[in-house]
């Protein structure tokens, strides 16, 4: 997994290995255009594990024979698996530990197959200081294909005094 956080006001990017301790961004650190992205590889084992955790064993996700007879011609990842990558960006990178999900809209645009590299990106679109809320645009891409987009509202802690 790769993670990158970048801001509109700087040309610097911070890249953290998967084992790195995540950085928390306080509300005061955020600015419009600040973004972060994570790249994840979708595997058959990951889809199976997600099915076990979620209880969603829809055969389009876990049964190759069944999936071959669908419009997709092969198993596809759960859409919400890609959405969980959005959650990982928020919880681990931007804003990072301590933030709280308030709401999320999701639009599933294209299927994600085993072997796909999903690049998940979030970007600050609006800041609401009175409530310590940040509104983020969220996307998941596989190559040049948009597979998910949406918007999230996140409560972000203030810097401790």
SS (H, E, C) 28-85: HHCCCCCEEEEEEECCHHHHHHHHHHHCCCCHHHHCHHHHHCCCCCCCECCHHHHHHH
CB of 69 within 8 A of CB of 60? no
pLDDT at 13: 39
The yes-or-no verdict on residue 9 having pLDDT over 70 is: no
| pLDDT interval class at 20 (50, 70, 90) | low
The CATH number of 2-7+22-155 is 3.10.129.10
pLDDT at 33: 97
Domain ranges of the chain: 2-7+22-155
Residues forming a β-bridge with 122: 36, 138
The yes-or-no verdict on residue 50 having pLDDT over 80 is: yes
For 5-32, what is the mean pLDDT? 62
pLDDT at 24: 85
The yes-or-no verdict on residue 34 having pLDDT over 90 is: yes
The yes-or-no verdict on residue 125 having pLDDT over 50 is: yes
Tell me the per-residue pLDDT of 57-108, one tens digit each, with 9 for 90 and over: 999 999 999 999 999 999 999 999 999 999 999 999 999 999 999 999 999 9
pLDDT at 21: 58
């Amino acid at each position: 997994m790769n993670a990158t956080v970048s801001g509109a006001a700087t040309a610097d990017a911070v890249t953290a290995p998967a084992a790195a301790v995540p950085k928390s961004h306080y509300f005061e650190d955020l600015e419009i255009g600040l973004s972060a992205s994570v790249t994840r590889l979708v595997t058959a084992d990951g889809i199976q594990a997600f099915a076990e955790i979620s209880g969603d064993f829809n055969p389009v996700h876990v049964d190759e024979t069944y999936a071959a007879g669908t419009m997709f011609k092969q198993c596809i990842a759960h859409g919400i698996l890609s959405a969980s990558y959005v959650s990982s960006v928020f919880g681990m990178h931007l804003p990072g530990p301590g933030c709280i999900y308030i709401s999320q809209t999701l639009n599933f645009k294209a299927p994600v197959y085993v072997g796909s590299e999903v690049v998940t990106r979030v970007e600050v679109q609006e800041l609401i200081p009175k409530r310590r809320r940040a509104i983020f645009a969220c996307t998941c891409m596989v190559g040049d294909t948009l597979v998910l987009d949406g918007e999230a509202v996140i409560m972000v802690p203030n810097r401790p005094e």
